[in-house]
Amino acid sequence: MQLDKAKKRIAKKVKRGFQGYPLIAITYFGSTTDQADEVSVTLTLEEGADALEERFKSTDDARENATIQSALVKIIERTDCKTLQENPGVTLVPAP
């Protein structure tokens, strides 16, 4: 899937707001706010349930990585999530 198409599909689902469960939350992490080195996808099946988490690492910016963005779209489709949340920007992670 093309990068622009994947990003548009994700943005469209995010704009809908809360529609119920299952809920997926996407968070980008990086050592600087300019580049996301890692992305976390958290799935919550119902209110109060433990969340399942999947992480993807990238050598380049994960927000601009077509493979990662396509994988996110596939996860969204396969889980049939009703709500998609995307945390804005990049959450800073201290360098090891």
Interval 8-24 mean pLDDT = 96
Instruction: Give the total number of structural domains in the chain.
Output: 1
Residue type (1 letter), 49: A
| CA angle, residues 83, 86, 91, in degrees to nearest 5 | 150
For residue range 19-41, what is the model confidence (pLDDT) as tens digits?
A: 999 999 999 999 899 999 999 99
Q: What's residue 95's pLDDT?
A: 66
- 0.85 cut: is pTM over it? yes
> Tens of pLDDT along 44-86?
999 999 999 999 999 999 999 999 999 999 999 999 999 999 9
- Domain range enclosing 33: 3-92
Looking up residue 77, the CATH number of its domain turns out to be 3.30.720
Provide the residue type at 40 as one letter: S
Which residues 6+ apart lie within 8 Å of 92 measured at CB? 29, 30, 31, 32, 33
